[in-house]
Amino acid sequence: MEKDRLLYLLENDKKGLNSPEEAAELEAWYRSADHRPAFTEGLSVEGLSALEDKMFARILTEAPERTEPVVPLGNTAGWFNWGKMAAAILLLVVAGIGIYVFQRQGGRIVERTGFGETRVLTLPDGSEVTLNGNSVLSYDAGWSEMREVRLEGEGYFKVVHTADHRKFRVRTGDDFSLDVLGTQFNISKRERGTRIVLDEGKVQCNLGSPAGDTLVLRPGEMVQFRKTPADYRRERVETGLYSAWKDHKLVFKNTSLREVSAMLQDTYGLETEASQPELLDRQISGSVPTDNVELLLEGIAEASSVTITRDGDQLMMTPK
């Protein structure tokens, strides 16, 4: 079943609009456990909510009928044992749709993208975030004074200015966060380090040092660091090179294959090996599409005069 079809059936099921044939189709998918994880990982908030409701309804209808006598209110042991059994059933069911439901019940909204996937999200205040592949964005279901989100991976933010001038904060770790009012910027937090590129407006980098040092970025500037925010590097850059991915393309300008290989691992889960280590020092310039991985690899190979052989998630680069 296609993901869009599944979402349609789940939402109609929640509203009671499915025909008998559609209900049977959804039931057949539900009983096909082999396909469930791959679909649920990519479902939207609405889709997961509808699936959550269906899971809870199934728990109620399929829980074993109690045959023991009713326990008086003064003796809660029987009820406690039945409650533990129901909780165990719920835990097993929720495990089938990932940790999203658990975090949502705890007042936290979590959005994830798979390898090679991009997704546009609209936050409660109307701000827009485009998530790159292999990324996670989370935030409290109810914002108070601070609009704060947490990012793992890469995202492009278009932050709206609120009437009460509330700050918007992006946190990438305990030692670094970014404060904005209304602006557009790209932020990436990967294994190799953290990078912020500002397109419009103004942002303040909170460096997490004991002295509470901060750094204000202007449009066209980039700041990046590997591990410690205080060891940052600041420079002016062509901002479009760092945000082209949101338009389904990558733009390279004297970019080494070593950097390209790191991007392929972070965003697409592809491990790269070179038959000759010096191949990774080759630099490429140009643009390649990102919505087709095979075309992406062909473009990189052509621009760098190498041959890329793929075996699953493993890539081998050899000279032409």
| Phi and psi angles of residue 113, each rounded to the nearest 5 degrees, phi first | -125, 145
Find the CATH number of the domain harbouring 276: 3.55.50.30
pLDDT in tens, the chain (320 residues): 566 677 777 777 766 777 877 777 777 766 654 444 444 444 554 555 555 555 545 444 444 444 434 333 334 344 334 444 444 444 444 444 443 333 454 588 999 999 999 999 999 999 999 999 999 999 998 887 789 999 999 999 999 988 888 889 999 988 899 999 789 999 999 999 999 999 999 999 998 776 678 999 999 999 999 988 989 999 999 999 999 999 999 999 999 999 999 999 999 999 999 999 999 999 999 999 998 999 999 999 999 999 999 999 999 999 98
Same domain? For 203 and 191 the reply is yes
- Which of residues 105, 136, 152 is at a domain's end? 105
Same domain? For 163 and 204 the reply is yes
Same domain? For 197 and 261 the reply is no
- Which of residues 82, 105, 128 is at a domain's end? 105
What's the number of domains the chain is made of? Answer: 3
How far is the first Cα of the chain from the last one, in angstroms, to the nearest whole number? 41
Question: In this structure, which amino acid lies at residue 207?
Answer: L
- Which of residues 105, 129, 164 is at a domain's end? 105
Same domain? For 165 and 182 the reply is yes
Two tokens, residue 241:
């090179």
Per DSSP, the residues of 163-220 read TT---EEEEEETTEEEEESSEEEEEEEETTEEEEEEEES-EEEE---TT--EEEE-TT
**Structural domain for 212, as ranges:** 108-239
Same domain? For 209 and 305 the reply is no
Same domain? For 259 and 191 the reply is no
Q: At 296, which helix (H) or strand (E)?
A: helix 293-304
Same domain? For 64 and 93 the reply is yes
Find the CATH number of the domain harbouring 221: 2.60.120.1440
- pTM as predicted: 0.67
Same domain? For 228 and 143 the reply is yes
